[in-house]
Amino acid sequence: MQQFKGFMTLSRHIMEQERKYPKATGEFSSLLSDLAVAAKIVGRSVNKAGLVDVIGFTGDENIFGEEVKKLDILANETIVRTLDHGGHLCVMASEESNGLIKIPPEHPKGNYVFLFDPLDGSSNIDVNVSIGTIFSIFRRISKEGDGTLQDCLQPGFYQVAAGYVLYGSSSMFVYSTGQGVHGFTYDPGIGEFLLSNENMTVPDRGKIFSMNTGYLNFWPDEIRRYYDYITSVDPATNRPYSLRYIGSLVADFHRNLLYGGVFIYPPDKKHPNGKLRLMYEANPLAFLVEKAGGAASDGFTPILQKQPVDIDQETPLIIGSKEDVAVVEDFLRGKK
């Protein structure tokens, strides 16, 4: 009979992480716990989405009596409504909302800024491909009142926490407050995220590259030369790298975090500044990958050192195992 070793819930882990900071007020832990609740609610909606055509919806109402909305809008509203009254935030911004999301005047303002992509990859939901929520947390710069655009436009280096929720065959909550990267798997039986991957580290080098090769003819020559290189036989292993591309950033990133490898969304003729968002996607994943021993850049500048100028700005993204990222940078910089 296997000895029951107990389990570490996300809530307990957050509290134990907080105890490492003597001056912690508990405000930050309470924010992360509120976020875990939002993740459970969004996860339930994502899991039900596949039933839209099966269980039938009457007009705008489903059989659960809930208004039927596009999932990413539903996820956005769920996260905002769960976080906007806890008194921890002074402002939010979302890839799904235009401009800043103010904290309603009837709720107290807090010391943190919350930036997020509520449901990245949501176009994949119809084919049951994993999708995810990505989040980034900064401490406010302004002293009081409503948070400002300046509070949001901070370089990623100043994040105090970041993470994602992966809604897949099982839901996972992966986060870091700067002390390692930790993964929690959702157990619907008890409604808790349970610690399943403590201190996640990304291998220095992998065997997988992840990019949309359909854009081959849109890529700059440097990236095409990289593609020819990475698909040639590697003398060290006597085989080329394998291509894995899900088309859902959180799923592609999560695989590379576990197995190693590199995800590349370069500038191309359709996306001269890249496609992915600096504030809602690149910054949080770059924070995680660096805390896990990996690297992330736009090919020339580390993502976490980029000074944002626009809340919705895009960036090229090369992220994953540090040796694999360095090879892509060498090609982009003309060194290879």
Residue numbers at the binding site for ligand P6P (CB under 6 A): 120-121, 123, 212, 247-249, 252, 275
Q: How many CB atoms lie within 10 A of CB 146?
A: 13
- 58 vs 309: CA distance, rounded Å: 45
Report, in this order, helix, strand and coil percent for the chain, each rounded to 5.
Answer: 35, 25, 40
Q: How far is the CB of 110 from ligand P6P (least distance, A)?
A: 29
Shortest distance, CB of residue 4 to ligand P6P, whole angstroms? 38
Distance in Å, CB of 268 to ligand P6P, minimum? 9
Directed axis angle between helix 27-49 and helix 10-18, to 10°? 160
By C-beta, is 123 or 301 nearer to ligand P6P?
Answer: 123
* Positive or negative torsion for Cα 247, 251, 255, 257: positive
- Supply the minimum distance, in Å, between the C-beta of residue 189 and ligand P6P: 30
Smallest gap from Cβ 296 to ligand P6P, in A, equals 14
For residues 82 and 256, which CB has a smaller minimum distance to ligand P6P in the complex?
A: 256
Residue among 57 and 215 whose Cβ is closer to ligand P6P: 215
**Nearer residue to ligand P6P within complex by CB, 121 or 299:** 121
- The answer for residues whose C-beta is within 8 angstroms of residue 261's C-beta and 6 or more apart is 206, 207, 208, 209, 210, 241, 244, 255, 320, 321, 324
Nearest to 250 by CA among 144, 120, 159, 122: 120
Nearer CB in complex with ligand P6P: 36/166: 166
